[in-house]
């Protein structure tokens, strides 16, 4: 097993271990029958991928105990999130899981591991279709209508550098921003919910800063969409319930927030490389820098609290 297989399987196992606890909690607190059925289905697949990744690593001599345990769920009956917010969280988990699996799949060279990833991709695609049907049935799909014209129909027939810069955003640029907007919308809601129940004051401060950052980024991206005539929907924080006890350990909540950060950066980077409009690129790079600075604070917090699940490291050392 080479470094690609080891690194990707470790990430799959560790992230599944964390997400499975969240999925189990969401299933136990959801009220809608259709939603609960999909949650149970996703939980079943996610549990399978954690177990299979653990087995593949074990066959190569890498054995480790799960970083998160059942006791990281303090209360499985405390309903922190409404069913609508749970659906939005599921959309985020499923879409980004599918994207991560696809990116990792193309780098695999071990037949057994690649075949495992192939099955996972097929399973997650089917789950994505089931979730899409649920969203459609519940009338929760966003309508991102776009009034457009062909580029060669704009004023000025000659191709000029200025004409490519002093223009509205194009369809490719706008499409590649959407995942980032969704990520921050979910991030705002999660940070608000977690900040209400977290006990450790250092972690509370970190999460509140994350709420402020996610809100700023969501507002900035929404403004860009509106400037280009596309309606957006925010306000998921209204679907966070007031509760008296925390359903999660502080360790789990801090790591869930950190789990969103590389997803957020990756989404923004995709938006950057798809654009050739300089002022738009500069705006996105500023947002990326904010997330990177926040990530550094989060890493230091996890290390200080002994909550950091560190991947296997190289035996090689530079002298």
Cα separation, 175 vs 235, in Å, equals 21
pLDDT tens per residue, range 182-219? 889 999 999 999 999 999 999 999 999 999 999 999 99
Q: Per mean pLDDT, which of 173-187, 190-204, 260-274 is the most reliable?
A: 190-204
**Contact between 271 and 180 (Cβ < 8 Å):** yes
pLDDT tens per residue, range 127-152? 999 988 888 888 877 666 667 767 66
**With 80 as the cut, is the pLDDT of residue 163 above it?**
no
In this structure, of 96-105, 155-164, 278-287, the range with the lowest mean pLDDT score is 155-164
Is CATH 1.25.10.10 the classification given to domain 167-310? Answer: no
**With 90 as the cut, is the pLDDT of residue 305 above it?**
yes
Would you list the DSSP string of 98-166?
A: HHHHHHHHTT---HHHHHHHHHHHHHHHHHHHHHHHHHHHTT-----------GGGSS-SS--HHHHHS
Mean pLDDT score of the chain: 89
pLDDT confidence band for 45 (50 / 70 / 90): very high
**Which H/E stretch holds residue 283?**
helix 278-304
**With 70 as the cut, is the pLDDT of residue 314 above it?**
yes
pLDDT tens per residue, range 84-113? 999 989 888 888 889 899 999 999 999 999
**The predicted structure's pLDDT at residue 158:** 46
Q: Per mean pLDDT, which of 14-23, 160-169, 234-243, 309-318 is the most reliable?
A: 14-23
Q: Which residue's entry shows tokens 């999460």?
A: 207
**With 70 as the cut, is the pLDDT of residue 157 above it?**
no
DSSP code of residue 68? S
**With 90 as the cut, is the pLDDT of residue 162 above it?**
no
pLDDT confidence band for 309 (50 / 70 / 90): very high
**The predicted structure's pLDDT at residue 206:** 97
Evaluate the CA torsion angle 257, 181, 232, 226 in order and state its sign: positive
Cα separation, 185 vs 219, in Å, equals 9
Q: Is 127 exposed, middle or buried (0-12, 13-18, 19+ CB in 10 A)?
A: buried
Return the CATH number of the domain spanning residue range 1-141: 1.20.1260.10
Which position has the higher pLDDT, 37 or 311? 37
Percentage of the chain beyond pLDDT 90 is 61
**The predicted structure's pLDDT at residue 112:** 94
**The predicted structure's pLDDT at residue 317:** 64
What's the mean pLDDT in 50-79? 92
Q: Which regions of the chain carry the CATH code 1.20.1260.10?
A: 1-141, 167-310
pLDDT tens per residue, range 8-35? 999 999 999 999 999 999 999 999 999 9
Q: Please, what is the end-to-end C-alpha distance for the chain in angstroms?
A: 27
The number of C-alpha atoms within 13 Å of 262 and in the hemisphere containing its C-beta is: 10
**The predicted structure's pLDDT at residue 312:** 84
């Amino acid at each position: 097993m080479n470094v690609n297989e080891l690194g990707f399987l470790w990430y799959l196992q560790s992230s599944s271990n964390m997400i499975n606890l969240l999925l189990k909690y969401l299933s136990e607190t959801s009220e809608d029958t259709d939603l609960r059925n999909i949650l149970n289905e996703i939980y079943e697949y996610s549990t399978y991928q954690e177990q299979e990744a653990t087995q593949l690593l074990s066959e190569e001599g890498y054995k480790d105990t799960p970083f998160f345990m059942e006791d990281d769920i303090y209360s499985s009956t405390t309903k922190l999130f409404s069913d609508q917010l749970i659906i939005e969280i599921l959309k985020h988990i499923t879409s980004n899981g599918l994207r991560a699996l696809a990116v990792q799949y193309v780098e695999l060279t071990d037949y057994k591991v690649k075949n495992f990833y192939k099955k996972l991709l097929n399973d997650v695609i089917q789950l994505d279709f089931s979730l899409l049907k649920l969203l459609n049935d519940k009338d929760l799909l966003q309508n991102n209508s776009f009034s457009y014209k062909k580029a060669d129909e704009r004023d000025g027939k000659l191709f000029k550098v200025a004409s490519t810069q002093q223009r509205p955003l194009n369809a490719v640029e706008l499409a590649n921003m959407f995942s980032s907007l969704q990520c921050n919308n979910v991030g705002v809601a999660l940070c608000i919910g977690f900040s209400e129940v977290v006990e450790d004051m250092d972690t509370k401060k970190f999460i509140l800063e994350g709420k402020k950052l996610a809100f700023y980024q969501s507002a900035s991206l929404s403004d860009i969409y509106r400037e280009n005539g596309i309606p957006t929907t925010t306000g998921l924080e209204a679907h966070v319930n007031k509760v008296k006890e925390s359903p999660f350990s502080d360790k789990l909540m801090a790591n869930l927030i950190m789990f969103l950060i590389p997803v957020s950066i990756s989404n923004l980077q995709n938006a950057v490389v798809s654009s050739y409009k300089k002022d738009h690129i500069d705006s996105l790079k500023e947002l990326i820098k904010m997330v990177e600075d926040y990530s550094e604070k989060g890493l230091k917090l996890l290390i200080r609290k002994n909550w950091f699940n560190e991947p296997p490291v190289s035996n090689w050392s530079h002298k």
